Structure 1
């Protein structure tokens, strides 16, 4: 069953861009099987044994719904309204109750220490303020709760991937609505004040060279 909660946008507004918003919704819907094939093994480990209610920062078109048990609830913080219809459809197919909130990740509107698990997948690259988002995640997590993340990050200096990230940073950010391929998100997460952080670094081998350096891990409140 799918349910949507109407929530007013936060004070920090997301710029709804009709062309790029629709383009990204279509792109990620079409690319879902390819992305899933590349990321499945790590997502299976990372998202194993999720609780019955999960908060996701930037759910997009619902790529991670397949990892939630039937009958569970996803509280989705997704400001891009062009993602909403595909996300609702995916939640309905997967049998997941959807609590959809059109808000920025910097201001989820959720109470302090009210959540057992927050997940993100290829999202922190595009938020306006990663430090503020991580502080917000810490605020809403209960003590001992987990933030489980899978993100693409800046490549080591002097590598061909790093050079490609630098050259393509502007068109990449334009096409993917602010996505940066130059963020050191591992350092950001380690500096965010979590009680513990475990990180795995790995590399994908795809034609999208700026996208190929990744981290996955768990931060515990």
Structure 2
């Protein structure tokens, strides 16, 4: 099986050789980071249409964390275009963090459409180093379709636990690897080296649920969901929440 994956990977890399050469020479990422937000703006709208009910149900639980002030401090990690803003309850004070500064234009537009939220600031930083966010300063951390792109999911989860207050909640929705030994997983393994350049560093074969279990939150609730677009190599999804 490993030999077959290697052969098919090599064929696909040859077919997409210009892309790999641009990436190797350091030209691809600066160009793609600038235009990737436009692609995400389109995909996010389509995705929200498909799982609107599930997102509303998940994020409705944020209301439980509202204190006497009626406010909730919320950090969205890998915020992208702000596709989740419409699902957050009123009273959220939202801090956005993303390593790609080109998303800020879209975030400003999203916040202008969601007056029920208070926009705090936009931080340009990777999830592995959220040093600009103070310890135990957040009631909520949200991360959707982000842990597939980071360099170290383990470090990101450690940072999430650091910035969450005791009893704070981490909400997530991520795509993960197909079942071990399946043809679908083989297809993911074949496509992954090329897909990472298209998906802004996205890994298709991550077993993110294992990282969540190892993080040892006090409570972890996780639901499995099928892939949204069957013809893409993006596998099943996990959605849920973890309590610090």
Asked if these proteins are the same fold (TM beyond 0.5), I'd say: yes
Whether the 8 Å CA contact 1:151–1:216 is kept in 2: the answer is: yes
Partner of 1:180: 203
Deviation string, structure 1 residues 122-176 (Cα, Å, up to 9, x no partner): 0000011110000000111111111010000011012232122111101110111
Deviation string, structure 1 residues 163-199 (Cα, Å, up to 9, x no partner): 2211110111011121101111000011012111111
3-state SS in 1 of match to 2:60: coil
Partner of 2:40: 28
Q: In the TM superposition, what are the counterparts of 1:85-104 in structure 2 within 5 Å?
A: 85-95=105-115, 96-98=117-119, 99-104=121-126
Partner of 1:143: 166
- Hey, what's the Cα distance between the residues in 1 that align with 2:234 and 2:74? 26
Partner of 1:64: 84
- Hey, what's the Cα distance between the residues in 1 that align with 2:210 and 2:53? 24
| Larger-Rg structure | 2
Whether the 8 Å CA contact 1:61–1:86 is kept in 2: the answer is: yes
Partner of 2:69: none
- Hey, what's the Cα distance between the residues in 1 that align with 2:185 and 2:33? 27
Whether the 8 Å CA contact 1:38–1:204 is kept in 2: the answer is: no
- Hey, what's the Cα distance between the residues in 1 that align with 2:134 and 2:39? 34
Relative to its length, the structure with more helix (as a share) is 2
1:81 aligns with 2:101: yes
In 2 relative to 1, CA 139–101 (structure 1 residues): closer, same or farther, beyond 3 Å?
same
Shift of 1:94: 1.1
In 2 relative to 1, CA 217–70 (structure 1 residues): closer, same or farther, beyond 3 Å?
closer
Shift of 1:112: 1.5
1:54 aligns with 2:66: no
In 2 relative to 1, CA 215–92 (structure 1 residues): closer, same or farther, beyond 3 Å?
same
- Hey, what's the Cα distance between the residues in 2 that align with 1:186 and 1:72? 27
* Structure 1 stretches lacking a partner, 5+ long: 1-15
3-state SS in 2 of match to 1:106: coil
Whether the 8 Å CA contact 2:170–2:241 is kept in 1: the answer is: yes
* Structure 2 stretches lacking a partner, 5+ long: 1-27, 67-71
Whether the 8 Å CA contact 1:118–1:148 is kept in 2: the answer is: yes
In 2 relative to 1, CA 18–185 (structure 1 residues): closer, same or farther, beyond 3 Å?
same
Partner of 2:175: 152
Q: How many pairs does the alignment contain?
A: 207
- Hey, what's the Cα distance between the residues in 1 that align with 2:219 and 2:237? 19
Whether the 8 Å CA contact 2:178–2:184 is kept in 1: the answer is: yes
Whether the 8 Å CA contact 1:20–1:176 is kept in 2: the answer is: no
- Hey, what's the Cα distance between the residues in 1 that align with 2:228 and 2:138? 35
